[in-house]
Amino acid sequence: MNQFHSLITSRVGLTQALLVALLAGCGGGDDPMAASPGAGVSAVNLRTAASFGAFGGTAGVSNQGINTVVNGNLGTTAACTLVTGIHDAANVYTQTTLNVGSVSGSVNCAPPAPGTAATLDIATQARADALTAYNDLAAMPRGSDPGAGQLGGLVLPAAVYTSAGATFAITTGDLTLDARGDANAVWVFQSAAALTVGQSATPRNVLLINGAQAKNVFWQVGSAARIEDGSSMVGTIIAPAGVTISTPGQTAQTTLTGRAIALTASVTMVNTTIVAP
């Protein structure tokens, strides 16, 4: 009887061990619906900077062309005279017949008029919050560089990605971000130097699939970012040395579903649509 009891007990134990092993194996491997490697990455708090579609650091914001639209606020800690080719509901900032850009929110910049101490305070706080967010992004543990700096043609799950060579480019094809059904999936791209999206006459796109959201995509760029004519970019870009969107004279519409935030240099736009998430 004791032998029979021991046999049953050993077989139950073996079955339980096999079950545990099988369940453990279900979380990895090649299962396309397996947990995302970025499941533990949290979105960065942009604080007051979140309301800005474009922010030109301490150097201003300029627009060329008649088809630019910024859905969100626009700002700079520079004087309002360095905001050009743009208007909001209350004021016009050095527009010409060839350079007309609309802002759905408000423009916040330093005096002289229409800048005030209040609008400068708003811009100053937004820049400080953007700098905090930039430092938070830069402080995240380094991730992989699956394309050796080239993100074109890749399909990436949520994670932190760090350029081993200090730059990221999306120039050889489109980049697809796959949330794998997780609406809270977060992507962080760390580039110690530049970011380039598209090439002259060869636009590129960032595509969101399976629940991916633009508000959860962040680009920490060590110097400057450039989005070429007709490209479609996604995410919040924070770059100390400025963000350039399209090229003067181009009529192809360039789209950023996110934010163009410069900490020191300017943001320049040509026939650009920006939609702040």
pTM of the entire structure?
0.86
Query: How confident is the model at residue 53, as a pLDDT?
Result: 98
Query: How confident is the model at residue 40, as a pLDDT?
Result: 72
3-state SS string for the chain: CHHHHHHHHHHHHHHHHHHHHHHHHCCCCCCCCCCCCCCCCCCCCCHHHHHEEEEECCCCEEEEEEEEEEECEEEEEEEHHHEECEECCCCEECCECCEEEEECCCEEEECCCCCCHHHHHHHHHHHHHHHHHHHHHHCCCCCECCCCCECCCCEEECCEEECCCCCEEECCCCEEEECCCCCCCCEEEEECCCEEECECCECCEEEEECCCCHHHEEEEECCCEEECCCCEEEEEEEECCCEEECCCCCCCCEEEEEEEEECCCCEEEECEEEECC
Query: How confident is the model at residue 39, as a pLDDT?
Result: 54
Query: How confident is the model at residue 206, as a pLDDT?
Result: 98
Query: How confident is the model at residue 112, as a pLDDT?
Result: 97
Query: How confident is the model at residue 205, as a pLDDT?
Result: 98
CA distances from 228 to 56, 145, 251 (A): 18, 23, 12
Domain ranges of the chain: 47-275
The C-alpha atoms of residue 170 and residue 144 are separated, in whole angstroms, by 16
**58 backbone dihedrals φ, ψ, rounded to 5°:** -105, 15
Query: How confident is the model at residue 142, as a pLDDT?
Result: 97
**Could you state, in chain order, the average pLDDT of each consecutive group of 10 residues for the chain (277 residues)?**
44 39 36 45 96 98 98 98 98 98 98 98 98 98 98 98 98 98 98 97 97 98 98 98 96 97 98 96
